[in-house]
Structure formats: C-alpha cells, structure tokens
Amino acid sequence: MNTIKHINKVLFIVLSLILMVGCDDNEASLQLGGDTWLNTLKVEEFQGVIDNSSKTVVVEVPVNYNTEAMKITELEVSEGAEASMKVGDVVDFSFPQVIKVTNGDAFLEYTISVKHHEAKIISFKLNDSYTGIIDENNHSIQVRVPTNVDIRSLIPSIETTKGATVTPASGQAVDFTNPVVFTVSYETATSDYEVKVVQSDSPLAVYVGLASSIDELNPEEKEAATWMLRNISNSEYLSFDDVRTERVDLSGCKVMWWHFHVDGGIGNEATFNEKAASAIQAVAKMKDFYENGGSLLLTRFATYYAAKLDVTADGKVPNNSWGGSEQSGETVSGPWSFFITNHSDHSLYTGITTATIDGKPAIYTCDTGYNITNSTSQWHIGWDDYADLNTWETNHGATSLGYGGDGAVVVWEYPSSTLSGRVLCIGSGCYDWYSTADASGDQYHENVEKLTQNAIEYLIRESKK
C-alpha cells in the first residue's frame, strides 16, 4: 500500500513539471515586451490632446466644421508598434472612433472624440444662494429671489464649458433691474444668454429634493426639476432641509413635487429610510403642509413617502419595487405604456392621445431606442393583504388610476380630507425623465411632460390652501 502511494506521488510530481514547462513555453511565445502608446495624433490641421490614463483623444474643431470626412495627417506610436489607422485615412468623426495600437501581442485602444468649440453657461447662481434655471434652447436664464433682496447689486457665480470666458464676469456685481445679457466666448464659439431676475416670496409650486441645490441632483431628478422650473409659473426648487428649517415662506404654496431616483432601485422601506434621510427628518414640516391643505405629487421611489406622512390607511409602502442604473439601462425595443382602464377621463390624462392595447386604453411614454432604468414602485395585487383591486383600495385607502400589464397599480391617488390636500403618486417604470440615449426625436416622451403638467395643475386647482 505504501509503495502504491509513493508511485502515485512521483507521477503527480512528473505531471506537474510537464504542465509547468508547457505554461512557460506558452508565456515565452507571447510578445509582450513592446510599448503600445499613441504618442501623436493630428486630424487635418487640428492637434489631438491625448490622455494616456483614460485612453482618450480629444480633437477640437471650429463651430461649423464638417467632421464626417476628416483626414489623418499625423500619427505616431511607440517604437515597433502599429495602429489601426494610418496617415492619409479619411474617417467619419461625427461620432467617437476607436484606434487600436498593437505591438506584438500587446495592444491599447484609444477613443477619439472630435468636438466642436463650445461656449455655454452650465451653472448660474446669484449671491451664492439663488440658482438660475438655464433654458439652453432659448439661451435664457431665470432666477427667483425674495422681494427683500436688492436686485440692483447681485453677484453672479458662473460656470462655463471648459476654457470659455463670460462677460459680465463671474464675481462682478450686476444690476438686474432689467434683463441682462451675458456673452460667453471660446475660440470660434459665442453664445448670448438673457438673464432675468424674478422677485417673489412664496412660490406657488415647489420641487423638493434631497440635494441642497438643483445643480447637485442626479441626472434623472435634475431633468425633472429643471423642466418644472421652466414650465410651471412661480415654481422654485427647495431642499428638504430648506423645508425643515423654514428657509422659504410656503404660505402661498399649493403643491410640492418630489421625484426620487436611486440607481439600482429601492426594494424595501429600510433602504428608503437610509437613502432619504433628510426627507425623513423633514416629515413634521411636510405633514404640516399637507394637513393644512397643501397637495403632493410623489413619483418613482418618492411614493414611499405617503406612508411617512400618515396619508395611507394601512401604513404600508409599495410592495413591489426595483430599478436599474442609468449607465446600464435597458434600451427599449418597442414603445412602453401603461393602462388607464376606466380612468381615461381623469384630469391626469387630459390632452394625452390614448392608444388601444389588448382592447384596453393606454398611454405611451417612450419609443423604440429609449434607454430606461425601468425604476418601478408599484402595488402588486394578490400579495399581502390585497387579494384583489377592491381590497387594495379599501385597505390602503387610495384610488387606482393606472395599471401595469399584469394589473399592478402604477398610478394612484389619496383623496383629500376636510382640511388636508391630495396626494398623487406615479410609480410606473414607464415614467422616466432622463435617458443616456438622445430622446429629442422620441414621439411619445412628451407625454411624460404632459402627464406631469396635468398632475401639478390638477393639484393646484384642487388645493384647499
């Protein structure tokens, strides 16, 4: 028996040595000694700026320069290396291109981006307290300030695209009695922005968020908040800390909107409590607002907040919620929608063209190619204490207004009482504001805006304040 063990041990050692020799031979055959750097790249007369840490190249060109057929005029790589592009190649740089530098069996890939000169204002504040709402399409900026602020001498803090200069300059006191034009310049690019200061003390509508300013919101929330401040008159952004500390007079405010996004979603109440700590701390003030006639629009994961405000009859939060992240969202292969069976005449759906899907009325919110996180906060009927829709409405104390394909409640409303306002909730994964894909040509996405405008106008109209 000992002899057999000894023979097996010897065989194991011999086989291990053979495998080790084989691995050494394979490694020896790989040619990994040469560098694979991209040292110089010039496209026509424009020098590329190479960043070896991020493996990117940026080539700047004049504002109206045609980038669809540009010639490589200079290209240098590490000694002994080769590139997938060569001098004389004509390349379409209207979108990013990848160049591969190879040396033996080693290689690096660089992403080349050709960018037109830009001269934009990307952030505008007055006295470091009042944030301007930038309308890039119309090159205008609106800033709301209280009536007790002297607008004849306000100091702007301006952030522009890289390298640009602005006149009047950031940090220079300006009289905003009348609209002021700010001119931004960079190389061949020039843009004028008309800045208008509006004075009012109590906003009619508020977008409330966790961040201290609108500029600090995540892209999904910022897109929604910016839309509101551009499209809802006398509206303002406030943080929950602003509400809690009563920084702003809300005596004339009729509706607050909170659209809450978390990359990766929120699956339970404990996670909501953790992610929305400042909203939890402001519950007392938010309840005062609601119980004194103010209404709320709660969308996406903000729908959990209704239970915190004691609006629900059973104290429960949505029983079925999830979500993806912006950078790894789902690109939809066809239009997305939710059903509005028996509720197409509700004010929420006014002016929105409905479609008939599987014999039921529905509204579309995005089209093929839209990139979406599918962030959902809904009520699955048949779970917990909700055997059917009627049981959910009775036990939870809400009215259903919209449904998913499986019958889940994705839009609902808590009615007002003698003194309190209304609470309207939209938790459908179809309700999305920000896409990493270009949604400017999406034929259905404007329904998200119309749906939100209807909701805010309905809540203002029905407010008891």
Question: Is 13 a residue whose pLDDT tops 60?
Answer: no
Mean pLDDT score of the chain, rounded to an integer?
Answer: 91
What phi and psi, each to the nearest 5 degrees, are found at residue 247?
-65, -30
CATH superfamily, region 205-462: Class I glutamine amidotransferase (GATase) domain (3.40.50.880)
Question: Is 20 a residue whose pLDDT tops 60?
Answer: no
Residue pLDDT, tens place only, 372-414? 999 999 999 999 889 999 999 999 999 999 999 999 999 999 9
Amino acid at 416: S
Q: Do 38-116 and 121-199 come out as alike in CATH topology?
A: yes
Residue pLDDT, tens place only, 243-294? 999 988 899 999 999 999 999 999 999 999 999 999 999 999 999 999 999 9
pLDDT of 384 reads: 82
Residue pLDDT, tens place only, 415-465? 998 889 999 999 999 999 999 998 889 999 999 999 999 999 999 998 887
pLDDT of 17 reads: 41
Question: Is 5 a residue whose pLDDT tops 90?
Answer: no
Q: Which option is the CATH number for 121-199: 3.40.50.720, 3.20.20.10, 2.60.40.2340, 2.60.120.380? A: 2.60.40.2340
Beta bridge partners of 424: 297, 413
Beta strands in 264-375 (DSSP E): 295-300, 320-322, 330-331, 336-339, 355-357, 360-366, 371-372
What is the Cα–Cα distance from 253 to 234, expressed in whole angstroms?
A: 9
Question: Is 140 a residue whose pLDDT tops 50?
Answer: yes
Element housing 5 (H / E): helix 2-29
Measured CA distances, 327 to 136, 371, 430, 440 (Å): 24, 9, 17, 19
Q: Is 38-116 a domain of CATH 2.60.40.2340?
A: yes
Angle at the Cα of 45 from the Cα atoms of 40 and 48, rounded to 5 degrees: 35
Is residue 203 reached through a cis peptide bond, with omega within 30 degrees of 0 on the bond before it? no
The residue among 55 and 144 whose pLDDT is bigger is 55
The residue among 1 and 434 whose pLDDT is bigger is 434
State mean pLDDT over 173-182.
97
State mean pLDDT over 43-60.
96
User: With bands split at pLDDT 50, 70 and 90, how would you rate the model's confidence at 18?
Assistant: very low
pLDDT of 325 reads: 95
What is the Cα–Cα distance from 29 to 32, expressed in whole angstroms?
A: 9
Map out the domains of the chain as residue ranges.
Answer: 38-116, 121-199, 205-462
Question: Is 14 a residue whose pLDDT tops 80?
Answer: no
pLDDT of 4 reads: 38
Beta strands in 148-267 (DSSP E): 156-160, 165-167, 180-186, 189-199, 205-209, 235-239, 255-260
Counting residues of the chain whose pLDDT is more than 70, the rounded percentage is 93
Question: Is 32 a residue whose pLDDT tops 60?
Answer: no
Cβ-proximal residues to 125 (8 Å cutoff; 6+ apart), any chain: 131, 132, 156, 157, 158, 213
What is the Cα–Cα distance from 299 to 162, expressed in whole angstroms?
A: 35
State mean pLDDT over 169-193.
97
pTM (predicted TM-score): 0.75
pLDDT of 8 reads: 44
pLDDT of 33 reads: 62
Nearest to 398 by CA among 407, 387, 390, 388: 390
Secondary structure, 3-state, 344-356 = CCCHHHCCCCCEE
